[in-house]
Structure 1
Amino acid sequence: MNVSDQLLQILKNEGVKHIFGVAGDALNPLVDAIAKQDDVKWIGVNHEGNASYAAFAQGELGNNFGVCASTVGPGALHLVNGLYNAKKERSPVLAITGQIPIEHLGTAYHQEADLTKIFDDICEYQAVVRSPEEAPRVILRAIRIAVNKNCVCRVELPSDIAFMKAENEFFVHKVFRSKSLTVPSSEYLLEASKMINTAEKVGILAGAGCREARADVLELSEHIKAPITHSLRSSDIFDHSTKNVVGLTGLIGNKSGYEAVMDCDLLLMLGTDFPYTNYLPKNTKIIQIDKREENIGNRTPIDLGIHGDIVSVIPQLRKLIHAKEDGSWLNSLNENFRTWKNNMHEKGSTDREMSPTHPQIVAKSVSDLASDDAIFTIDTGTSAIWSSNIMNFHSGRRIIGSFNHGSMAVGLPAAIGAQLQFPKREVWAMVGDGAFNMSMHDFKTAVTYKLPIKIIIFNNSELGFVKIEMEEAGLAPNLDALAVNNIDFAAYAKLCGGDGITISEADQVHDAVIRAKNSKLPFIINAVVTSGELALPPKIELEHAVNFGVSKTKELWRALKGDRAQWDNIKKEIESYFD
């Protein structure tokens, strides 16, 4: 057994099933070890960046860590973006990188890169193997830190050591995994209960830290008549059909979700590091509860911080809180949220006959027809707006994406990782055309491994979210810079050995989604949609209104001067609004 065999044995002991990567020199001993057994599969991708996104998906969705691998300097550098995404989403991932032989380190050798320095801002711990004797100790330490801190760790294996005879095999053992919960002092719970008991209108802003405490948070909400506003990442915890949930806040939020946070007397921030300070109240009392103490008071001044797991804090706090009788404020917000949902339902109706069709119609059809335990990988951009506003992630549905890092091109590779981990569940990738163009080469990987992922491409031939950002800044969109020159994605799917269909009319959407749902092959719906659909924040501040007005004035002026593209853009927006 060499060091590579030993590394693989450790991964097998920990239940790892897949390693995503691109084979090459320094990794060859590990790839060879994988070929000699059947428990751990090597999943070869076309780009290491997609390997790290796929590993992120497995770390995020499962009870284990994801694994990706790359060879020396250039290959390792490609892992960075996906690993940074895993860091920001707090998903346990182990990255295995090769390295040049030890004797050449520090000599500017071919493909040499200081990987420790490069990955320092990503990894909680880096196991740089310098001898066979230390290998099992540092490898196990990396895994132990990754799974217990939900973070990214890296194993660096120089190519010469990878071939050496394994040592200290007696030290290889199962990794300790903590199931402990953080419980706060009773004095903090008592103070929190006093604040809640004396407040008239309590709002809840709930994040992904509530995943294991959903029932407790819902019971608390009903007990104190508190509306629940959720973060984007917790859309599958507090879905649109759950009682007292009133939606999202933030730039892509809705009015009732925004008002529940901004108009309360006391805000409970539960398991969230919600970053958008403009959408947090300035003069409202705030209690923040989080198991990561560094988050408490991170975004806004707070009146009381409680360090603890939501699943341990809320039941104890509930015992100290009096029931509230006045539900008028909550009822009003619930009614406003129902009105908003009805409006979204109308925007997703196939009665809207504009051509090309509206993106909301596509999102609603997927939401209506996907299975109750479907997994959705949501890419960054306007696809996130249509998904979060129109779709309902009820029952056992899960969503993952780049919600904190905000990187494009997560949708396709994350869907690959998710489908391999859960072969019996539907996996839908909701992506924009710009994001798909960044990662489309690994659609062939889905074909190679016979993964029936369903990819919805919102094809509006532009970087739509960037356009929104330019308009909010008071700029006339540079339509040349925003343009995306697309190929026929459905034909591309078939060329790769998958299947696909192009749609552009509302009456085509339902049947296309059914075809994707029933397909045994990787399937692309190339949904040609209008670029004229406007997405507005839940509250239009004066600055937003002024900047948007300035932007539209500039667009009109350029159109009057003969800019045909600006004329077409204005026309599409008007047609979309009135359809």
Structure 2
Amino acid sequence: MNDNIAMYFAKLLAEVGIKRIWGITGDSLNGLSDSLQKLGKIEWMGTRHEETAAFAAGADAKISGKLAVCAGSSGPGNLHLINGLFDCHRKGVPVLAIASHIPSSEIGSNYFQETHPENLFKECSVYCELVTNPDQMPHVLETAIRQAILKKGVSVIVIPGDLLLRPMPKDAKYLWSEPHLPKVLPCVEDINELATILNENKNITFLCGAGCSDAHDDVVELAKRLHAPIVHALGGKESMEGNNPNSVGMTGLIGYESGYYAMENSDVLLILGSAFPYKAFYPQKAKIVQIDIKPEALGRHTQISLGIVGDVKSSLELLTPKIKQKENDTFLKSALKHYQSTVETFDKLASGTSKEGLIHPQYLTKLIDKYASEDAIFTCDVGTPTVWAARYLNMNGKRKLIGSFNHGSMASALPQAIGAKVSAPDKEVIALCGDGGFAMLMGDLLTLVQHTIKAKIVIYNNSSLGFVAIEMKAGGYLSDNTELTNPDFSAIAKAVGIKSFRVEKPEELESRVKEFLAFDGAALLDVTTAKQELTMPPKISFENAKGFSIYMLRAIINGKGDELVEVARENLIR
């Protein structure tokens, strides 16, 4: 007797090397769940929310470098996957999403839970197809897997639950071979033109992004020849910050002043594998050249003098031999001096002593960085946890940093820590969670317990949507609707069986951080951090300054002068 579609599905996934599927089962997934159980080669990783499943799959793919799989049942079940899949898609990690559907005979009848997932998922996928006939299955499934791997994105297969139970065609078979990512070599004429530009100009600065992940040594070698400061975007922090004598920090809204000025004062800015989106931080007078593996990325966020299609590593292997060693290193020395000054300024803000008895989030992050293992994996929520991670976590070539850096979704840190820890069980995994983001998917603390996942969860508990409040102040608005009434998160963790710690005094923090990280198992650290901590960007516009002044006036007029006192106390009195 032929396998049904569900068993064919399970066997091919096992052949591909899939070890687990993240999701929540439901009646339209019963056939697949049953086949997975009978086959016994793929684990079902049940979560408490499908969004968690998608985020976890993305982190699983990021850490393993291989295809990960998530699934959601018909209607609301697979709809809950969408936000996490958008993050996976924009991050460029290979994920296969299985969106089961209502009975095929009921499609188009406004049936219970009916949606049109084949349309809904198109914007967050490189491939999305509805299966309506068993004959489609071999080529649709294999195509979906290959596209996800080769295009580094999300593939979605939409399949009615009843179709999973139908037999495969008699002659159906799978023949799987692992696809390998190609090198994308640049045009030689473009490389020659770039070599001329770099050799003829004086002050060169690099801006490096996630596309430099396999090209660290190549980038540093070229920078040494040019005496070029290396600035990184957030996506490039993991690969370019460590073991880099030319590093001058990050740029952007949450970056370093030194990074901004190294770009602003350059004659040529060479963008390497970065989709840095903030136009205000690009230099006004420099000639800009961009190398990216994606043609559509060239010139997307700033005007460029030359755009080169190619992967960074292959491009620099061709370029570097053509570059003459520069003698004058004045520009680099100035940038490095500025960087050191910026680091010292940030370090002063990460003090464990406070006249007001406050725990500054910078200090918490610095301690996490100090006591975390040298190959730790960090995840961080958007907003202020990303700011502190960007400024106070030191990447060394072994550590990893995962966040929703392109999609910008709240609530990513906990589920990404779940996926990362399962993918790399021998590595220390630490989630840096905002209190707002953590509360959104807090139910998946139970996933840690159910699957014995030994991730560490840190909560920056400032009872506020902190970054949103800062943006409102900078715009001249009162930070209304950003305050959060929080529970004792450590008590909640304890209630579900997770070791927990709560810290409210700065003098207790260091010992608790050490105890928390040393615990052999899942643990949660709930820290009450300063509420009005400011995250100042490296470039303050007139509009920002004007907006903050307007906010202060409005605060006084509306009887919120105490809020101004709190801002001053937390940021000026250390």
TM-score tier (shorter): over 0.9
SS of the residue aligned with 1:110? Answer: coil
Among candidates 363, 371, 374, match of residue 369 of structure 1: 371
Aligned-partner residue type, residue 518 of structure 2: N
Contact 1:271 1:310 survives alignment (8 Å): yes
Partner residue, 1:483: 483
Contact 1:530 1:576 survives alignment (8 Å): no
Partner residue, 1:578: 573
TM superposition shift of 1:170: 4.8
Among candidates 203, 208, 214, match of residue 201 of structure 1: 203
Partner residue, 1:526: 526
Q: Distance in 1 between matches of 2:60 and 2:171?
A: 28
Aligned-partner residue type, residue 495 of structure 2: L
Partner residue, 2:125: 123
TM superposition shift of 1:570: 2.9
Q: Distance in 1 between matches of 2:243 and 2:388?
A: 17
Q: Distance in 2 between matches of 1:526 and 1:575?
A: 20
Q: Distance in 1 between matches of 2:517 and 2:333?
A: 37
TM superposition shift of 1:569: 4.9
**Correspondence 1:513 to 2:513:** yes
Partner residue, 1:298: 300
TM superposition shift of 1:86: 0.7
Q: Distance in 2 between matches of 1:444 and 1:576?
A: 37
Relative to structure 1, the CA distance from residue 241 to residue 503 in structure 2 (aligned partners, 3 Å threshold; closer, same or farther) is farther
Q: Distance in 2 between matches of 1:506 and 1:339?
A: 26
Question: Percent of aligned pairs with the same residue?
Answer: 35
Partner residue, 1:53: 55
SS of the residue aligned with 2:274? Answer: coil
SS of the residue aligned with 1:431? Answer: strand
**Correspondence 1:104 to 2:99:** no
Query: Mean Cα displacement is larger for which, 268-277 or 531-540?
Result: 531-540
Relative to structure 1, the CA distance from residue 168 to residue 488 in structure 2 (aligned partners, 3 Å threshold; closer, same or farther) is farther
Q: Distance in 1 between matches of 2:306 and 2:571?
A: 46
Partner residue, 2:277: 275
* TM-score, length of structure 2 as denominator length: 0.97
TM superposition shift of 1:239: 1.8
Q: Say how many residue pairs are matched.
A: 572
TM superposition shift of 1:59: 1.7
TM superposition shift of 1:484: 0.9
TM superposition shift of 1:168: 5.7
Among candidates 205, 212, 215, match of residue 213 of structure 1: 215
Partner residue, 2:556: 556
**Correspondence 1:504 to 2:504:** yes
Q: Distance in 2 between matches of 1:201 and 1:504?
A: 48
Q: Distance in 1 between matches of 2:525 and 2:392?
A: 18
| Deviations, residues 270-320 of structure 1 (Å, cap 9, x unaligned) | 001110011112321011000101111111111111110101001211111
Partner residue, 1:65: 67
Relative to structure 1, the CA distance from residue 169 to residue 346 in structure 2 (aligned partners, 3 Å threshold; closer, same or farther) is farther
SS of the residue aligned with 1:171? Answer: coil
Q: Distance in 2 between matches of 1:191 and 1:466?
A: 44
Contact 2:11 2:39 survives alignment (8 Å): no
Contact 2:198 2:204 survives alignment (8 Å): yes
Contact 1:354 1:505 survives alignment (8 Å): no
Contact 2:239 2:397 survives alignment (8 Å): no
Q: Distance in 2 between matches of 1:168 and 1:456?
A: 53
Contact 1:452 1:519 survives alignment (8 Å): no
Aligned-partner residue type, residue 332 of structure 2: L
Q: What is the RMSD computed on CA atoms of the aligned residues?
A: 1.4
Among candidates 222, 230, 233, match of residue 232 of structure 2: 230
Partner residue, 1:545: 545
Unpaired stretches in structure 1, ≥5 consecutive residues = none
TM superposition shift of 1:240: 5.7
SS of the residue aligned with 1:403? Answer: coil
Aligned-partner residue type, residue 525 of structure 2: I
Partner residue, 1:149: 151
Unpaired stretches in structure 2, ≥5 consecutive residues = none
* TM-score, length of structure 1 as denominator length: 0.96
Aligned-partner residue type, residue 531 of structure 1: K
Aligned-partner residue type, residue 488 of structure 1: D
Q: Distance in 2 between matches of 1:517 and 1:167?
A: 53
TM superposition shift of 1:62: 1.8
Q: Distance in 2 between matches of 1:168 and 1:416?
A: 40
Q: How does 1:397-416 map to 2 (within 5 A)?
A: 397-416=399-418
Q: How does 1:103-502 map to 2 (within 5 A)?
A: 103-167=105-169, 170-239=172-241, 242-352=244-354, 354-478=356-480, 481-502=481-502
TM superposition shift of 1:572: 4.2
Relative to structure 1, the CA distance from residue 32 to residue 569 in structure 2 (aligned partners, 3 Å threshold; closer, same or farther) is farther
SS of the residue aligned with 1:235? Answer: helix
Relative to structure 1, the CA distance from residue 248 to residue 47 in structure 2 (aligned partners, 3 Å threshold; closer, same or farther) is same
TM superposition shift of 1:178: 2.6
Aligned-partner residue type, residue 394 of structure 1: N
SS of the residue aligned with 2:527? Answer: strand
Aligned-partner residue type, residue 184 of structure 2: T
TM superposition shift of 1:24: 0.4
TM superposition shift of 1:209: 0.2
Partner residue, 1:42: 44
TM superposition shift of 1:390: 1.5
